[in-house]
Chain A
């Protein structure tokens, strides 16, 4: 056994450049045996890049500096090489194949064979074992697309365990998870530590880091700022934030006094069926309204139907519409397509930016204007200069970290991609903006900025709906919160009545009276 304090991984003076961007400059990192080591930093600080260097995604030779792992200098030429050494990375975006089963995903690229034929019996035996280790009771044959993100994350870990991982890298593993799934995942990581598997974890959820990490390395603008020992230094969230942004943040939410007008948007008896399964209702006669200048929160567990409700209202872009009315500014409107919804003044920022929100081949400027091309089109011709100016304005306003607006969105860090998506919808200048998990994967500083932007939109007399799995965020931001449980709205609480407990109660059980 390695003594607990022994350093197992050293990354020394790692420098990594992309064309025009120095993502990492002389970054160093030391991870000890039996440690959960957190990496914190703002969006675009270089956290994911550092982990990609470590795991061979960026092969030896494309960066400078050394990696010393268990006393050996490592020059990984690809991911397989790092996996052979016991370093396994779980990426910021899940890399499972939705159509394949849990078992097939776990063994993908690593299939047990006998005489060249896949031995499924052996695979199944090991899958059951692995699933038990991560605390998942599902059938190994279930297609991955049918289990929630929380469970998918566990499948990723099972897959890593199957590769005899010794150092597990998790890039924002809980970003898409709700609190109970996150708690389960963090317990699992702690459990792995006690079995001698160290982890490196990137997260913007600082409370989790404070709870689970033994040491924290903070990166800012591609440079190591400091490494903190959580127990010895008595580190708390404020201390981490100070390291990340270079100053203390007085409050997580900007001060705001809402000026709320009359109801201008109303949805009545909204009933929608699942797109494939006709007799499964995803929205069950929902009623809600939004007033001018109001920020309305939608709380609910993962899979409660918040996204489904929002998307079905947004031009019926999800599910089969059965019945219900939408009333805007006192008149009933028919929003059958997304373009009708956009024209009626609705905007919807999806929770899943990679598959639903962005064309990764596009650049920042084309993305920014893509939902409102009409605004920069004159006599059927798109005005390039206006496009550039608009995109540049939003880049400055949202402080998107990119060299210029000609940069491809595929090259931005996760948080900065989210800002570009926000810019795209802000540019449509909607009356009602629906934000689905708007701060997922966004750093504390940028969150504060985004909250400020949301409040400014509301102050301009618009309505904003915020769907979020982070209750503190909903409580800090919303003027009123609806709770949703299994497709039905179970209650609505004003800011002053709402608390984590009262929301939780409504989110987990249908109305007692019903």
Chain B
């Protein structure tokens, strides 16, 4: 077990999340008699949850900066309907529609960011207002009707990678992506090893690295196989590609750029950040604005997938996104969280949803279980922190000498729900 933990990397929280995800998948695979890991189901899972995962990416940044955004569902719906309407009435091509949606998202974000950052109204209030405002705007603009969208626009929400090249019996592009990912992972890991060795840091034994790579690559290749062998016409879904690009982009921005650092700094201690030259107003503005842009994108993907924009699109999305972020290890008080963690948190919820559905559980039972899982995930964190004990998973994997249990800070107790800050998204 300890070795397993070593293989999956040091961060206990992240490890716990991945462990929970794998556990859930295996559990449902067994319980559903193999219905979980079929190409169709996995594709469905991605398609049906891409928009929530995209929202989670924006939401984690908002939450790290110490805010919250309740308006994302309404903003998504409003952008969705405006894009659908204008494309229909003005006969705009799909790419102009998408561009317009993103710009509209940015404008809405600038509006909300203005109130939060420059006027100083708490984001909870501003976005609660936004939630009502943009829901109303959606229904006013669309007269509470459902507006269909064209087939080319549907591609971003329901499309798949095309078939090209020789007929191999698999989807070639999907295979290609799988191989690229595997190569990238291997190169990245080797590079990190080399850099660590040069810095004189502690490097893990060779067998650990090899085992880690083999394990991860096996998972990636298996997923590739699933995506590449679905029903004819299906392959890796476009929303999945968009999501992948966004995860890479935002994961990188949050951990390796100045803006990203500043988001953590503002959420961790705003005054200290300001006295270090961080323009906290600008950071807050950007974070809130970015959230609305992503909400707009999520809205469009959803409209594309469901072929039409409706008056009740996006209801409750904010809660799914927020839940994903907290399951993914962010702290309510800000300053803590990672993009990857939030996406994994979102996937945990998605797998849970999907598995329960396959098992024939009703929406009522699913909701109850999801609520309990959210509570349990965060409760474990809080409990373990206050006890100074490693998390449940940490207990299973406890190694000699170095238990992964940072005790609550001595002089001041930052009330975060996650263990340590980790910039390594």
Q: Is A187 an interface residue (CB 8 A)?
A: no
CB distance B279 to A337 under 8 Å?
yes
CB distance A366 to B261 under 8 Å?
yes
A19 in complex: contacting residue of B195, B264, B275, B405, CB < 8 Å: B405
CB distance B269 to A360 under 8 Å?
yes
How big is the B interface, by class? 35 or more
CB distance A359 to B256 under 8 Å?
no
CB distance from B73 to the nearest CB of A (A): 29
CB distance from A429 to the nearest CB of B (A): 14
CB distance A411 to B277 under 8 Å?
no
CB distance from A150 to the nearest CB of B (A): 20
Interface residues of B, dominant DSSP: loop
The segment from B80-88, B179-187, B407-415 found at the interface with A is: B407-415
User: Cβ of A408: which chain B residues have Cβ within 8 Å of it?
Assistant: 406, 409, 420-421
CB distance A361 to B268 under 8 Å?
yes
CB distance B411 to A92 under 8 Å?
yes
Which of chain B's residues 121-162 have a Cβ closer than 8 Å to chain A?
Answer: none
CB distance A360 to B414 under 8 Å?
yes
Q: Is A354 an interface residue (CB 8 A)?
A: yes
Among residues of A, the one whose C-beta sits closest to the C-beta of B421 is A361
Are A355 and B274 CB-contacts (below 8 A) given A93-B411, A388-B199?
Answer: no
Which of chain A's residues 354-389 have a Cβ closer than 8 Å to chain B?
Answer: 354-363, 366, 370-371, 373-374, 377, 380-382, 384-385, 388-389
CB distance from B3 to the nearest CB of A (A): 19
Which of chain B's residues 268-321 have a Cβ closer than 8 Å to chain A?
Answer: 268-269, 271-279
Most chain A beta carbons < 10 A, residue from B278, B407, B411, B420: B411
Q: Is B400 an interface residue (CB 8 A)?
A: no
CA distance A337 to B410 in the complex (A): 33
CB distance from A435 to the nearest CB of B (A): 13
Most chain A beta carbons < 10 A, residue from B272, B406, B420: B272
CB distance B277 to A371 under 8 Å?
yes
Are A359 and B420 CB-contacts (below 8 A) given A381-B257, A414-B411?
Answer: no
CB distance from B224 to the nearest CB of A (A): 29
Q: Is A126 an interface residue (CB 8 A)?
A: no
User: Cβ of B403: which chain A residues have Cβ within 8 Å of it?
Assistant: 19
CB distance B411 to A359 under 8 Å?
no
Q: Is B402 an interface residue (CB 8 A)?
A: yes
CA distance A91 to B413 in the complex (A): 12
CB distance A338 to B276 under 8 Å?
yes
User: Cβ of A342: which chain B residues have Cβ within 8 Å of it?
Assistant: 276-277
CB distance from B395 to the nearest CB of A (A): 14
CB distance A91 to B268 under 8 Å?
no
CB distance B409 to A359 under 8 Å?
no
Among residues of A, the one whose C-beta sits closest to the C-beta of B333 is A361
User: Cβ of A358: which chain B residues have Cβ within 8 Å of it?
Assistant: 269, 272
Are A19 and B271 CB-contacts (below 8 A) given A354-B411, A408-B420, A410-B414?
Answer: no
CB distance B261 to A361 under 8 Å?
no
User: Cβ of B257: which chain A residues have Cβ within 8 Å of it?
Assistant: 377, 380-382
Among residues of A, the one whose C-beta sits closest to the C-beta of B423 is A366
Q: Is B119 an interface residue (CB 8 A)?
A: no
User: Cβ of B256: which chain A residues have Cβ within 8 Å of it?
Assistant: 381-382, 384
Q: Is B97 an interface residue (CB 8 A)?
A: no
Contact pattern, A 86-114, Cβ under 8 Å of B = 1, otherwise 0: 00000111000000000000000000000
CB distance A385 to B195 under 8 Å?
yes
Q: Is B345 an interface residue (CB 8 A)?
A: no
CB distance A48 to B402 under 8 Å?
no
CA distance A49 to B195 in the complex (A): 36
A355-B269, A408-B421 known; 6 other A-B pairs, CB under 8 Å? A18-B406, A62-B407, A350-B275, A354-B411, A361-B336, A381-B257
24 pairs from A and B in contact (CB 8 Å cutoff):
A48-B411, A49-B410, A62-B407, A93-B412, A317-B275, A338-B274, A338-B275, A350-B275, A354-B412, A355-B272, A359-B265, A359-B268, A360-B412, A361-B414, A362-B264, A366-B423, A370-B276, A381-B256, A384-B195, A385-B195, A385-B198, A388-B199, A408-B421, A411-B410
A residues near B (Cβ < 8 Å) are 18-20, 48-49, 52, 58, 62, 91-93, 314-315, 317, 337-339, 341-342, 348, 350, 354-363, 366, 370-371, 373-374, 377, 380-382, 384-385, 388-389, 408, 410-411, 413-414, 424
Identify the 6 closest CB pairs spanning chains A and B, nearest first: A359-B268, A410-B409, A339-B277, A371-B276, A359-B269, A361-B268
